A and B are shown apart, each in its own frame.
Chain A
């Protein structure tokens, strides 16, 4: 059933075997997997079927550290959650992402890639993706009919990122949720607090409120938090009725290790000798009757190991925008704001050394034509990098309050020298490979000695790490099954449990982990443990 919680009577108490908090990819996948199980499931979603400004405002909070998007814009509170505005990129984590790696402090999962492998396979259909050899690059290159670029396999690996349509989980699966007999989904149901027993070792109930509606209670034998990596620590920290530091926070780890996928777009501009058809393999999405493939280029595991680097991923973007056009724009913006752009001398030099580009810029402006006057095969690769685990990168409660009077959460995201090293070394190696293969030559500011983070570092809004997974309660919030350490019945399925995050977009892994959790819950139900 799919119900509007605002229709419930005031102070109602609902009972279930399992209460899922959050109706995004994680929560919906978990619920769908449990349809037909002996478990009575309640799913609570903060939003409705559509965007609502007041509901969305509940996600707001200050940005306290490195540049970031407004928090209210970085997640969506409606059925389907942030799948309502995702790009659809799917790729599993790599085996190396699960390892404790020398040179990457705090890295490693308590599970391996093999532990998730079959769940990745089972997750593919949820995202409307190919199921036949989805991550076999040669298979897809052959099907597309373009040869892969001959990168040195010790340096770069071509990967076939899978493209979901993208699946909007709320709209796609609302009907199945409506028809589910053992799953009741409540919309507009905002969980304000989890109430624990007197030793804070078990959650007894969730206190829930609707905007302009009733407050009610959900009691359950088990709770699964399936929200994002900012909202989960917020709820745990707000649930401080018994444990003053919040639930699961006896070692002060809740909210620490915040990470995201960040990107320098572009990290370089390169001019190919000519329009190489092989580059088309990477610079376009290729769609099929089911799903699609967007080939990308990843730093190899060999180089990551040898140089102790985090993950780096390149997308080739066919931009037709040259350095001269960019500099012209930078200088104009600088004049408009009364500020000089970074590397002023370089910007001016670019105007004179890239007259083709400047001509194109003026031509576009004068004619309104998007096509360039002088067609040059420029590419502007985007470099996405993995943020390494950093305990000083945090989300924590602040003194601001939301419309329920609840404390908001602030984001203090921090990057380290490791990420900067990944950007610089990744760029350098990519440029060298372009030259070695004979594709062309590249221009970049990234390799300057005085290079610093640009004004805009793109964010994936993939909130990871804030309730990280570890076998040891002193180094993680949840165990290898996603159960909160020290609590018997509180589980988490979210990117918030990722101790290391690789370069892969997290959504597929989130789906795979929810399927794994559903299997665990079914097993527990069969054994009488749940």
Chain B
């Protein structure tokens, strides 16, 4: 059983509903290590379901990001995009949860970078 299966939904929600995105902070800020780990766990689950691109390059391209530092990926700039995903029905289903495609991609990118040892 991987870490996603072990993690609590509290962590899942921390990641998924905006805490990871540094709600309230306008600029890129480092993410607390525990929350980053949660995002990575979610990302692994996302990658396993195959609902988004499977490699870091494709995920970066889809998200339009060039950040090398994973910690600065998670900023409030994504909130509007995630809400727009929900508004347009651009969502994915992961283990019974419905996520915006952008947040699924962000978490998947985090997991992918971890897999490559880049974070």
Contacts and interface: CB of A to CB of B under 8 A. Distances in A.
A273 B17 contact: yes
Contacts of A273: 13, 17-18
Contacts of A445: 96
Contacts of A448: 96
A440 interface: yes
Contacts of B7: 353
A493 interface: no
Contacts of B98: 428, 431-432, 435, 441-442, 444, 447
A443 B86 contact: no
A432 B7 CA distance: 24
B1 A352 contact: yes
A376 B96 contact: no
Q: Which of A271, A357, A435 has the most CB of B within 10 A?
A: A435
Given A353-B9, A441-B99, A447-B93, A433 B86 contact: yes
Nearest to A152: B87
B86 A271 contact: no
Contact of B5 (A152, A323, A349, A440): A349
A50 interface: no
Interface in B80-119: 82-87, 89, 91, 93, 95-100
A435 B4 contact: no
Interface residues of A, number: 33
B54 to A, nearest CB: 21
Contacts, number: 82
A435 B89 CA distance: 10
A431 B17 CA distance: 13
- Interface size class, chain B: 20 to 34
Contacts of A447: 93, 98
Q: Which of B5, B9, B10, B99 has the most CB of A within 10 A?
A: B9
Given A349-B95, A353-B4, A432-B91, A441 B17 contact: yes
A441 B97 contact: yes
B24 interface: no
Contacts of B99: 441
B16 interface: yes
B78 interface: no
Interface in A441-462: 441-445, 447-448
Given A356-B10, A438-B18, A444 B96 contact: yes
B8 interface: yes
A437 B9 CA distance: 20
Contacts of A346: 95-96
Interface in A226-259: none
A431 B84 CA distance: 13
A431 B86 CA distance: 8
A436 interface: yes
A207 B74 CA distance: 77
Q: Which of B1, B95, B97 has the most CB of A within 10 A?
A: B97
A271 B12 CA distance: 10
A433 B91 CA distance: 12
A278 to B, nearest CB: 15
Contacts of B12: 353, 441
A276 B83 CA distance: 18
B9 A435 contact: no
21 contacts: A271-B9, A271-B17, A273-B17, A322-B9, A323-B9, A323-B96, A324-B9, A350-B96, A353-B12, A356-B9, A431-B98, A432-B87, A432-B98, A435-B86, A435-B98, A438-B79, A438-B83, A443-B9, A444-B98, A447-B93, A448-B96
Interface of A: 152, 271, 273, 322-324, 346, 349-350, 352-357, 376, 428, 431-438, 440-445, 447-448
Given A273-B13, A435-B83, 20 more contacts: A152-B87, A271-B9, A273-B17, A323-B96, A349-B5, A350-B96, A352-B6, A353-B6, A356-B9, A356-B10, A433-B86, A435-B86, A435-B91, A436-B83, A437-B83, A440-B13, A441-B17, A442-B98, A443-B9, A443-B96
